[in-house]
Amino acid sequence: MPPRTRRTEGLSRERIVEAAVELLDTAGEAGLTFRTLTERLATGAGAIYWHVANKDELLTTATDAVVAEALPAASAGSPEEEIRAVALGLFDAIEQHPWLATQLLMQLTRNPGGPVAPRIFEAIGRQIGALGVPEHSWFTATSVLVHYILGTAGQTATAEVSTTREAFLDTVARSWENLDPEAYPFTRGVAKQLRNHDDREQFLAGIDLVLAGVTTRHSS
């Protein structure tokens, strides 16, 4: 069989990934098919298969492209500032792309050898090393931050997709306020804080708590 030749000069892998992200944003993972992609790009399936083998590869590449764009460029800031910038970049990306939280979890658990997990671990892990954390603790400290960032941002995005943020928080707060005061005094007490809290502010406070724990543990 003769070697494959390029089917089209106008279609690039980057354009395919860009169109895939657009479809994911508007229709979710279920709406991303090679048929819808060929229609959006006004091309044939063969031209797409030249660049991307299957849907799994397309999802991986789309996820990596969004993460790469979300991560900030290196700067002269402190390690703490750099970690906060990475965290906020991922938080905002997950908020902007509702499908991203699920795909990030999939990439970390089912495809850790792919491009996404190393990209995120590198962005945070370098700063963990710069904080003076001993090498034997790099993976643990970095993993804690990665799971906090993706878990918290993903939970926030899921809640906002299902309903409006205000309605969701109000419903939960009212259910907490109606709990048995003897069995749930703390939960009832923080119900008002739940209703009025700022997700972004709380997210950054959590990053600071984790960083405080990391630096205190290894302050020697």
Task: Please tell me the predicted confidence (pLDDT) of residue 1.
Answer: 38
pLDDT of the chain, 220 residues: tens digit per residue = 334 434 444 689 999 999 999 999 999 999 999 999 999 999 988 889 999 999 999 999 999 999 999 999 877 789 999 999 999 999 999 999 989 999 999 999 999 999 999 999 999 999 999 999 999 999 999 999 999 999 988 887 665 555 677 888 899 999 999 999 999 999 999 999 998 888 899 999 999 999 999 999 887 5
* Domain extent listing, the chain: 1-52, 75-217
Q: What is the CATH number of domain 1-52?
A: 1.10.10.60
Q: Are 55 and 17 in contact (CB under 8 A)?
A: no
| Rounded distance between C-alpha atoms, residue 70 and residue 88, angstroms | 9
CB 92 within 8 A of CB 43: no
pTM, whole model, 2 decimals? 0.86
Spatial CB neighbours of 113, under 8 Å, sequence gap ≥ 6: none
CATH of 75-217, one of 1.10.357.10, 3.30.43.10, 1.10.3210.10, 2.30.40.10: 1.10.357.10
Give me the half-sphere count of Cα atoms (radius 13 Å) on the Cβ side of residue 50.
20
Pairwise CA distance, residues 114 & 105, whole Å: 13
